[in-house]
Amino acid sequence: DAWSDAKGQLHMDSQQDYQLLGARKAPEGLYLLFRRAFSTCDPKDYLIEDGTVHLIYGILEKPVPSLQAINISAMQRGLQRVQLLKPNITIPELPRDTQTMEITAPGVVIPSQETTYWCYMAELPEGFLKHHIIKYEAVITAGNEALVHHMEVFQCAAEFDSFPHYSGPCDSKMKPERLNYCRHVLAAWAMGAQAFYYPEEAGLAFGGPGSSRYLRLEVHYHNPLVIKGRRDSSGIRLYYTASLRPYDAGIMELGLVYTPVMAIPPGEDSFILRGYCTDKCTQLALPAAGIRIFASQLHTHLAGRQVVTVLARGGREQQVVNADGHYSPHFQEIRMLKEVVAVFPGDELITTCTYNTEDRSRATVGGFGIMEEMCVNYVHYYPQTQLELCKSAMDPGYLHRYFNLVNRFNDEEVCMCPEVSIPQQFYSVPWNSFNRDVLRSLYGFAPISMHCNKSSAVRFP
């Protein structure tokens, strides 16, 4: 049991909390079995929590005579993100008529660059009837385990009769615009995630009337060594059944609307934004018996560090729906909750995201780009309702007042011209402590614009 200082030097811990139970060598490496309390009350030990844990490992070139001879910063190191504490939930048995379907990349040559998002369009057979997805898991091409970072399968919008075939980078100018209408998540996997099972009383419906036949697979390749010529056919295997379960599962987006109105100043170590699913929306959209949330997928882009959603009732916080105090945008998986969360009409769901922009020189605005930001919790629940999006953003009118105030105190440095976009206005703000503090306060007290939308993107009245 040791700890490292700021220079990477290892020191023996005065409080020994680890117990080595066994060790063995194998052709593929060294296996260690040890025991440690999740919380040791030792400031030099890591508190093991429910969310993401970043496991850092180092490889020694040769044996060392003592602990003092090890310096972490000089070692060859690696990182693996995992969820160590998974809920103790019984895995349901699959019915006898379970079938499988693989949505996989078509022998893609992984581009020789560090980051690639690859999009591939697939389609269900003609006349495919309604089924329930009851399980899914990753299918990774052997040898590519370190390159396939995360994957998602999206279903396309039912209002379009057809979607163009496409296999290529998601950010390519050649990508058909219509693919942007394939945003309904069916399955999501991140490196290290295990198979996902639906509870035995619910399944995710796909196929049949009112459901698009078209699916979009998105694969994030992380190729830091810029390996060339590697082929990949990774994807996701869906397990589905025609024996429909009692409830259709639904997926609802909570958090912030994708808008540049919500922004984070540069150089911030911990900047907080909140999105609200208000009592008015749940009162309008949820059935009298409420819904049951059983799983959750938290989502931000690269600046996200913490995400939490809480349930409030009658103005008081009731319980945490899902929280990750060590969130990583590189490890996004759908996680089963320890216990099902009941949400009733009139309840509120508040999603809080914490961001770090210390490595950025200009403001980060909300939006779809990877260098823009999001604050989302995709909650999986039953029974399915028409409510697909319950999010908010600050009333845009108050942003105009903010820029007016900045101009008054900064000698007209921010252009308020109609032709200048909100991102450009944010980029021109001089980020002194006054402008930062005012923006932070504004997001805390300004009225919000509520989005309470059906799956057709039509708002509830």
Does residue 299 carry a catalytic annotation? yes
Catalytic annotation, pick one of 299, 301, 380, 451: 299
Rounded Cα gap, residues 456 and 297, in angstroms: 22
- Would you give the DSSP letter of residue 72? G
Catalytic annotation, pick one of 46, 117, 398, 427: 117
- Would you give the DSSP letter of residue 205? E
Rounded Cα gap, residues 357 and 355, in angstroms: 7
Contact between 199 and 380 (Cβ < 8 Å)? no
Q: Which two tokens stand for residue 458?
A: 């039509």
DSSP letters, 126-189, are TTPPPEEEEEEEEE--TT-TTTEEEEEEEEPPTT-S-----EEETT-TTS-GGGGG--EEEEEE
Rounded Cα gap, residues 305 and 154, in angstroms: 25
Which residues, including other chains, have CB under 8 Å from residue 353's CB and lie 6 or more apart? 255, 256, 272, 273, 274, 275, 300, 304, 306, 307, 373, 375
- Distances in whole angstroms, Cα of residue 419 to Cα of each of 161, 163, 414, 415, 428: 37, 34, 13, 10, 14
β-pairing, 247-256 vs 202-206, is: parallel
Q: Which two tokens stand for residue 363?
A: 């403001």
Q: What are the φ and ψ backbone dihedral angles of 450, each rounded to 5 degrees?
A: -95, 135
Q: Exposed/middle/buried for 359, CB within 10 Å: 0-12, 13-18, 19+?
A: exposed
Which residues, including other chains, have CB under 8 Å from residue 105's CB and lie 6 or more apart? 118, 120, 167, 217, 219, 232, 233, 234, 235
Does residue 326 carry a catalytic annotation? no
- Whether the bond between 383 and the residue before it is cis, its omega within 30 degrees of 0, is yes
Q: Where are the alpha helices (H) located in 19-60, listed in sequence order?
A: none
Rounded Cα gap, residues 307 and 274, in angstroms: 10
Rounded Cα gap, residues 372 and 302, in angstroms: 8
Q: Give me the active site residues, please.
A: 117, 299
